[in-house]
Amino acid sequence: MLGNVSGQQLATLDLSRFVPPSNQARELDRLHALQQGLIKGQQARLLKLRRLDGSEFDAEITEVLVEGDDGRDVQWLLRDVTQDQMMRLELEEANKQLKYLSQRLIEIQEVERRQIARDLHDDIGQQLTGLKLHLQRLIRKLDNQEAIAITDGLVEGTDQALAKVRRLSLSLHPLQLETLGLEAALRWHLSHFLEATPTVWELQIQGLLETISPAKAVAAFRIVQEAVNNATKHAQADNLRIMLSRDEDGLRLEILDDGCGFDTSDVALGTQSLGLTSMRERVASLGGHLTINSLEGIGTRVTAWLPSQRGA
């Protein structure tokens, strides 16, 4: 580990020879303090050491105090952890790359959703509107009551299809998020999504949401969207409470429901819902964390924390 040297030769060499010059003074002071009993020995601390040929390596050191006839000695137990450190650095780099790719995937997904929403609104929506206008024009020219009744039914069906297209377009990419902000977009989604259900909902806002970044606003909207969908579709909740709190440290989201609850071990394994997996990926891509607590027969609490980054 230290070079081509025997134990006998090693005993005659000065310790400073194996410590890089930048750390020599600090390590010698530490050894003196250990011998004097001023500090206690430490287990498994990392230190850069130097071999006899001058090459350096990462060592894990355990300090053992040995009482002898001439006073207290310090024994070093060394382990070369260079490979461990390299693997740790490679793992950290891989995690950074994974986080970056996850963020890019989410960004691309949102761009595609925005494009599909615009296509639905501008193309299919306009075509349905044009069809409705032609049908209404046709009604004014008809003098047969049966034909008028049939055409009226076609107009009503066109209106329903147009309404569905608009809801789908706004669900894919709520324009309120860009024009009016996160709170308005959430209130619109909750009122429209839950209007046909018996679920009673409440939205509480603390702090200013207007200045958060677009990426964080989209993430918060999608998290609430997925949590509300799960609460009504799977948990059959009667009551929902959504709370958003913004301060200088970040944005905290909490969604509470009184539904049937579920086994969170399945969620931890990622086996229950792709939506919940997407929530975790969105939060992780922004450096935050997500927790899901649920009790069967009691309800579920989803908590997300999105830290502030570069003032966002």
**Can you spell out the DSSP letters for 55-105?**
-EEEEEEEEEEEEETTEEEEEEEEEE-HHHHHHHHHHHHHHHHHHHHHHHH
Structure tokens that stand for 174 in this block: 């709520």
Q: What is residue 274's predicted lDDT score, i.e. its pLDDT?
A: 67
Q: How far apart are the first and last CA of the chain?
A: 49
Q: What is the mean pLDDT of residues 201-216?
A: 90
Alpha-carbon gap, residue 251 to 205, rounded angstroms? 11
Q: Give the position of tokens 């607590």.
A: 293
Q: What is the mean pLDDT of residues 72-77?
A: 86
Lowest mean pLDDT among 35-49, 84-98, 168-182, 240-254: 168-182
Quick one: what percent of the chain has pLDDT higher than 90? Answer: 23
Output the DSSP codes for 120-167: IIIIIHHHHHHHHHHHHHHHHH---HHHHHHHHHHHHHHHHHHHHHHH
Q: What is residue 312's predicted lDDT score, i.e. its pLDDT?
A: 53
Q: What is the mean pLDDT of residues 60-83?
A: 85
Long-range pairs for 256-260: beta carbons < 8 A, 24 or more residues apart: 256/299, 256/300, 256/301, 257/227, 257/231, 257/299, 257/300, 258/298, 258/299, 259/231, 259/234, 259/235, 259/299, 259/300, 260/234, 260/235, 260/236, 260/296, 260/297
Task: Give tens-digit pLDDT for 265-293.
Answer: 665 544 456 677 888 888 988 889 999 99
Q: What is the mean pLDDT of residues 131-136?
A: 90
- The model carries a pTM of 0.59
Q: What is the mean pLDDT of residues 51-56?
A: 86
CA distances from 297 to 78, 224, 259, 279 (A): 55, 22, 7, 23
Q: Is residue 192 predicted with pLDDT exceeding 50? A: yes
Mean pLDDT across the chain, nearest whole number? 85
| Residue 249 DSSP symbol | T
CB 199 within 8 A of CB 240: yes
